[in-house]
Structure 1
Amino acid sequence: MWISTKLDQTSHIDQCFNELITECRLSAPGARLSYSIRNKLERLSKEERKVIVSRVKEGCTPLFVSCKKGNVEIVDYLITECHSDVEQKGVYEVPDDRSIHYVTPLWCAAVAGKLAVVKCLVKHGANVNSVSDTGSTPVRSACFMTHLDIVTYLVDNGANILKPNYNGGTCLINSVQSVPLCEFLLKHGADVNAQDIQFKTALHYAIQEHRFETTKLLLDNGADPYIKSRYGDDALQTACLKGATQIFEYLIKNVNYSRARIAEAYELMGSTFLDEHYDLQAALQNWRKALTIRIEDPTLSKPNNVVPKAAYLNAFEFETHEQLDNLSMDLDAMRIQSLIICERILGALHKDVIFRLMFRGAAYADGLQYQRCIDLWRYALDLRIQKDSLLHSETCFAAQALVRLYLDLQEKHSNGVLREELKFDDVFHTVKLLVEEFPKAMRLLKVRPIFKRQQDNFDKILKVLTHLFYVLNVIPKTMKQTEETKQLINAINLMNARNSCGDTLLHLVVSKANTMKSNTFIEDPHTVIFPDPRVCQLLLECDFNVDAFNNVGSTALHIACTRNNFNQDVVNHLLIYGTHIDRRNVSGQQPHKMLKSITESTVNPLKYMSLKCLAAHKISELHIPYIGQIPVSLEQFIAIH
């Protein structure tokens, strides 16, 4: 009887909760709970009501749902009559950017713009400085949504406008889209020069969003235009890179810049107009202004700090109006000039320089000018490695983009679509560039704790490398180039590079799972390349250990003997080079038994089992004691059988 009563009570509570959460979700803004559900709730004890309103469905409590919808009467009822916890967090999806946050009801109401609910929650003791999972306070997030009335109320009730989120974003940074909001924050003590994790101030964000009035307001209130972001961009440079013409003109008129700096600004602005807005006339206009400034003062000649290189067709930067006029009729030459200008002013390792190299290369690839793209992307990859190391996501992206370009060109050439041929030197030096960074990357991966993103990126680089092996193997080569390829692969072998699963490069080239996802530059995914018997044989010829095993004790043969990966030629190559066909992995799987389930297999296992193997297998099968009774060198041999 007691059990039955308990079950009935639980069922009743479940029913009440389901009715309550449904009504909260479906009720119109400004509505109150129906008499029916209030009657049911009020018949329950205080503890039972609290249990009901504390329950969560799809990440939200009834209170949280009501706060989001702005139903202030329901919110007040749930707190006063059902004792809802005003700090119990729920899941909130911001409508503008679809980001998901784990926040308090007050944060939810503040972002949703529900002032009446905000007032109700604060009246009932909600913490105005509580933080979300990203460290954002309700007032900071209300600033992002430009709810000035809510920001005002929260500040009046003790909200801290100086408290940033975990990325250093302040209320003022979040408010640059609203001049009145910025004025309010500045009057209430906001730090106009506070910097976030990227060392950017509110002024940086106002400029990059082309907020002219906000920019003037911030400068009038002491914003420092000389503060640089982590990328080295101050206010003027940000305006140039973002093409904020009105702000640019205001800065050079109202901030004390040298003539050399103004000349550089015009040059950079011209590059932005050409690269970002495809406006050749605006680019020429800005570059001519810069030339005029430099010609008027001979001490302001351009510093020749960009060495001519293949990526820029070994071009030099123009220095006179005549040279610029001669270039103006050649759009491609103008784009090269733009890249040279950006590198001279920003430095080769600036993120915008690398981005523009990748973007311009993509445009060449779209026009089937593959060699021009290769030259730019090889240079971009080199710069990315210098800037961020092999383990960075952007480095990984650049490497994947380049190898996919090689694959695409090779495929089109072999199918007769393009006459252009892939050059051995391009692929060879790409492999060399990556491999030279392996020792450093592998040292970093030994440091604990290992960051998952870095390990994942190294895994991707290993996949990139195997695809480069494939390309090197299929393109025509001289005898000298073939020997150079094998020497390089031998050097890689000595490093014993492995992915997070312990797989060697030999494991990867026999696995169908070794693929690369498509990227934004080359959309059509290539067919699966691996397993590839030719690359497998190449690695074996370069002395890769055929019996190397991964974290689960599987050799390359174990991988090759699965139904999904089976390729007869691959299996034959591995067996010819002496791999154990009867070696057990951690799961007890043996390749010769795995092959039995593959009807296409023509392998005769006995051909690859020695008497020594059979004896070891029998000792293991019969559980004959052998530890300490045979040479130590044989103990491991028996153990793997």
Structure 2
Amino acid sequence: MGSEFNPDMIKVLKKKVFSAAREGMAISIFAMLWNLDRCVIKEVLDYQTEEDGQTTTPLIIAARNGEEKVIQVLLSNFSVDIEQTGTVKFDGYVIEGATALWCASGAGHFNVVKCLIEHGADVNHPTLTNSTPLRAACFDGRLDIVRYLVEHKSDLTIANKYNNTCLMISCYKGHRDVVAYLLEKGASPDCRAHCGATALHFSAECGHLSIVRLLVKFGASMPKNDHFMTPLIVAAECGKADVVEYICSLNECSKVDKINALELLGATFANDKENYDINRAYYYLKKGMEERFKNSKHVVHKQYYPPVPAYGNRRESQSLAELELLEKDNNALHMESLAIRERILGPDTPEVPHPVIFRGAVFADSARFERCISLWMHAMKLRQRNNRTISKDLLRFSQVFSQMVHLGVKLQFLHVENVFEHAVVELERDRERIALDEEDKDALNETYQANIHTCLYLLVIALRIEKNKEEVLQLNKLMYKFLQIKPVLKNGYSPLHMVCDGATLVDDFHVNDVVSFPCASLAVALVKCGADINFRDTHGNIPLHVIVRYTNPINGFDTLHQIILSLIMAGSHLDIRNYERKVPVQCCTTGVAEVILRQHSHISLKCIAARCIRDNNIQYRSLLPMFLEEFIHLH
């Protein structure tokens, strides 16, 4: 009967079978498939349907939705490939290479899991990130499924691509009963993820005290991760007081470790956005200080750490008496706590900048912009010196700078200059990251493009503020350096294209109060600093093609006129054709732009000759000097 099916009929059948599987209509599926040729059935059941961000077969979507009867029908009657893989979504995560068993395990459908295993499903078939069905069940906390999978030879030692084990994910998610079962079955509590963290690090980070106790009972050690943080320090940094106090009570916890944990816990409460509590901050700072002087014969003095200007050059309290003077001085406690965090964790630890940024934001909210800038600058420098992305830092600066300009608050050019210099370095590093990382290339490209936008925001802001002659010269140098690295968007837009385009995105948190495109002042400045006025985007458009499309010529006449005139005076050719063979005047969306172009139309004999060569398809390759070939190609 399969021969009676033409491609259109099979296409319809695929949709119907998939919909029936998704909705649990087992009898309908049987009725549609039972007397068809095997080749037709295979084509229908192997077909992957894209829907709601998922790419699945009938078997996989039925397992994902817990449709046990559908699974039974497909496996018992139609020899469907039980190891088919697809792409599914779980808790906001996109899982590629997931089998039906993985989906049923992750979604908590025990009967479907049982059915699939009874029909021979591979209990250890991993996804593309090496996540097994057991890991999926551990993530969901389904002890019944975890137990069943282990009983049917699921390997609890298989870790995902980050070397994160099933025990680790259970600890992180807080599933104590699953953790207990895995430990009883021999799961090692001391396995390390690629970041150096163990199961104890993950449970301490999340504040799962009962799991921390359980891991300790099973002999978990307290190693340092790749950032030299023990589970105790991780708990203190995350504000998990009960975990800190428990680990500090253990005999193996040294006096120095206890002091550092208590002081770090207090410092966390002083500057953590989620756990801010100034009273608890002082309480734990005091406990730490009391511990230092608990034995008068063996006082543990603080290690020297050079004062940090961003923290007001705060020198930490050295005694209980000095600390008590700060009890009612919140600002002093905030700064002292930032200094304590940096001393204990070290400036290279990724967690150090977060509270610094939070405290800076608080200053910004109260219009204490200089304090904000000082703190954020420190945080940004810490991140960049450790080769961590500063994309959010750069945007954050453009937002607060815009706010200052909009409010009429004096903004020093030096601040904008410093941030822009870091931005240029970041663009260069963005390119290096993109070249080295195949897996996250798309995300890295998005960050790179966002940073190009932020650079333009900063340049517009720099042009808006008061500057002396030396600062004007320095700004031109910054623009030249920016242009020299040749930043380009994925559509081929150069910075000059972006500045000429009214559709260029502008951040809507304060930035759009100051920055808008097209921007004549920045376009003129970029041209003066060497921007390539004839650079082509992916459609062959030069900046002149872009600006003539500006759709608000009445209110923005001066902008339109200045940019067009600047481009023409700098040598932009009026007869350059884009890949649709259109010159700029043919791209005008308003008569105003056309009039401006025609008023300044000066087409040289050389341009006419180039157009004649192109229009008549005269061969010129390898017959002329390279610079003339490039010139002809533009036309």
Instruction: Settle same-fold status: TM greater than 0.5.
Output: yes
From 221, 225, 245, give the equivalent of 1:224.
221
Q: Structure 1 residues 258, 558: closer, same or farther in 2, change over 3 A?
A: same
The residue number in structure 1 matching 2:175 is 178
Which of 450, 461, 467 does residue 477 from structure 1 map onto?
Answer: 467
628 and 117 in structure 1: CA distance in 2 versus 1, 3 angstrom threshold: closer
2: CA distance between counterparts of 1:333 and 1:351? 24
Q: What is the alpha-carbon distance in structure 2 between the residues aligned to residue 236 and residue 297 of structure 1? A: 26
SS of residue paired to 2:386: helix
Helix, strand or coil: the match of 1:471? helix
Of 431-440 and 325-334, more deviation after overlay is shown by 431-440
1:135 match? 130
**Cα separation, partners in 2 of 1:125 and 1:362, compared to 1, 3 Å:** same
Aligned counterparts of 1:43 and 1:322: Cα–Cα separation in 2: 89
Q: Relative to 1, partners in 2 of residues 1:328 and 1:524: Cα closer, same or farther, differing over 3 Å?
A: farther
Matches within 5 A, 1:603-618: 603-604=597-598, 607-618=601-612
Residue 260 of structure 1 is matched in structure 2 by 256
Hey, what's the Cα distance between the residues in 2 that align with 1:14 and 1:632? 54
Asked whether 1:574 is paired with 2:567, we answer: yes
CA distance in 1: counterparts of 2:610 and 2:459, whole angstroms: 37
* Partners of 1:67 and 1:629 in 2: CA distance: 66
Q: CA deviation at 1:98?
A: 6.2
| 1:98/1:438 CA distance change after superposition, 3 Å | closer
The corresponding residue for 1:416 is none
Structure 2 CA distance for aligned equivalents of residues 578 and 7 of structure 1: 65
Match of 1:514 among 504, 524, 532: 504
- Which deviates the most, 173-182 or 436-445? 436-445
Distance 1:610 1:51, change over 3 A: closer
Q: Distance in 2 between matches of 1:625 and 1:328?
A: 84
Aligned position for 1:300:
300
Describe the superposition over 1:377-426 as per-residue Cα deviations: whole angstroms up to 9, x where unpaired: 1222211211125xx3xx1111111112111221122xxxxxx3212221
1:330-373: per-residue Cα shift (whole Å, max 9, x none)?
A: 22222111111111111123222111112222222223322222
Cα distance in 2, alignment partners of residues 172 and 444 from structure 1:
32
Shift of 1:10: 7.3
User: Against the structure 1 CA distance between its residues 325 and 598, is the aligned structure 2 distance closer, same or farther, given a 3 Å change threshold?
Assistant: farther
Contact 2:345 2:352 in 1 (8 A): yes
Asked if 2 retains the 8 angstrom alpha-carbon contact of 1:515 and 1:528, the reply is: no
Deviation string for 1:402-458 (max 9, x for gaps)? 112111221122xxxxxx321222112222333356666666667797944444433
**What is the match of residue 457 of structure 1?**
447
Aligned-pair distance for 1:629? 7.4
1:75 aligns with 2:71: yes
Native 8 Å contact 2:460 2:515 kept in 1: no
Describe the SS at the equivalent of 1:163. coil
- Report what 1:6 is aligned to: 4
Q: For residues 569 and 153 of structure 1, do their structure 2 counterparts lie closer, same or farther at Cα, with a shift above 3 Å needed? A: same
Instruction: Summarize the Cα distance change of 1:634–1:254 in structure 2 as closer, same or farther, 3 Å threshold.
Output: closer
Distance 1:446 1:517 in 2: 27
Contact persistence 1:510–1:565 (CA under 8 A): no
Q: Is the 8 A contact 1:107 1:141 kept in 2?
A: yes
Asked if residue 192 in structure 1 is aligned to residue 193 in structure 2, the reply is no
Amino acid at match of 1:164: A
Match of 1:403 in 2: 398
Q: Give the match for residue 200 of structure 2.
A: 203
Bigger shift: 259-268 or 613-622?
613-622
Report the Cα offset of residue 125 of structure 1: 1.0
TM-score (norm 1): 0.86
Deviations 1:264-307 (A, max 9, x none): 21110101222233322211111112222334467632223243
Residue equivalent to 1:435: 424
The answer to whether the 8 Å contact 2:105/2:137 transfers is yes
* 1:315 has 2:314 as partner: yes
Separation in 1 of the partners of 2:417 and 2:581?
40
CA contact (8 A) 1:511 1:565 kept: no
Listed as ranges, the gaps of 5+ residues in structure 1 are 414-419
Q: Residue 375 of structure 2 corresponds to which residue in structure 1? A: 376
The Cα of 1:314 is off from its aligned counterpart by: 2.8
Shift of 1:200: 1.7
Q: How far does the alpha carbon of each residue in 1:229-272 deviate from its partner, in whole angstroms, 9 at most, with x for none? A: 23332111011012222221121121523323222211101012
8 Å contact 2:102–2:133 — kept in the other structure? yes
Q: Is the 8 A contact 2:105 2:113 kept in 1?
A: yes
How much identity, in percent, do the aligned residues show? 26
Q: Matched residue of 2:249: which SS?
A: helix
User: 326-335 or 60-69: which moved more?
Assistant: 60-69
CA 1:76/1:615 → structure 2, altered by over 3 Å: closer, same or farther? closer
Corresponding residue for residue 412 of structure 2 = 423
CA 1:264–1:613 in structure 2 vs 1: closer, same or farther (change >3 Å)? Answer: same
Structure 1 residue 162 corresponds to structure 2 residue 157:
yes
After superposition, the Cα gap between the structure-2 partners of 1:543 and 1:151, relative to the gap in structure 1 and judged at 3 Å, is closer
TM-aligned CA distance change 1:459 to 1:52, over 3 Å? closer
Query: Structure 1 residues 331, 608: CA separation in 2 closer, same or farther (over 3 Å shift)?
Result: farther
How far apart, in 2, do the equivalents of 1:629 and 1:135 lie? 57
Q: 1:481 to 1:46 in 2, by over 3 A?
A: closer
Aligned length, in residue pairs: 617
In structure 1, distance between residues paired with 2:620 and 2:37: 71
- For residue 291 of structure 1, the aligned residue among 289, 296, 302 is 289
SS for the counterpart of 1:254 is coil
Contact 1:194 1:201 in 2 (8 A): yes
Matched, 1:145 2:132: no
SS at match of 1:93: strand
User: What CA RMSD, in Å, does the superposition of the two structures yield over aligned residues?
Assistant: 3.3
The answer on 1:363 being equivalent to 2:362 is yes
**Closer, same or farther in 2 for the Cα pair 1:50/1:587, shift >3 Å?**
closer
Secondary structure of the 1:327 match is coil
Decide which moves more: 551-560 or 227-236. 551-560
Alignment partners' CA distance in 1, 2:437 and 2:577: 31
Tell me, yes or no, if the aligned pair for 1:16 and 1:37 is still in contact at 8 Å.
Answer: no
Structure 2 Cα separation of the partners of residues 14 and 596 of structure 1: 44
User: 1:461 & 1:37 partners in 2: Cα distance?
Assistant: 52
Q: Structure 1 residues 165 and 427 mapped into 2: Cα distance closer, same or farther (>3 Å)?
A: same
Structure 1 counterpart of 2:340: 341
Contact 1:267 1:287 survives alignment (8 Å): yes
Shift in CA distance, 39/433, structure 1 to aligned 2, threshold 3 Å: closer
Contact 2:17 2:32 in 1 (8 A): no
For residues 437 and 129 of structure 1, do their structure 2 counterparts lie closer, same or farther at Cα, with a shift above 3 Å needed?
A: closer
Q: Distance in 2 between matches of 1:74 and 1:615?
A: 72
- Partner of 1:476, secondary structure, is coil
The one-letter code sitting in structure 2 at the alignment partner of 1:640 is: L
The reply on whether 1:275 has 2:271 as its aligned counterpart is yes
2:234 is the counterpart of 1:241: no
- Look up the match of 2:557: none
- CA separation of 1:629 and 1:192: change in aligned 2, threshold 3 A: closer
Q: Deviations over 1:554-580 (max 9, x none)?
A: 433233233459722211111122222
User: Match of 1:103, as an amino acid?
Assistant: A
* C-alpha deviation, 1:148, in angstroms: 1.6
1:37-56 matches, within 5 Å, as: 38=30, 41-44=33-36, 48-56=40-48
Given residue 290 of structure 1, which amino acid in structure 2 is its aligned partner?
G
Asked if structure 1 preserves the Cα contact closer than 8 Å seen for 2:88 and 2:95, the reply is yes
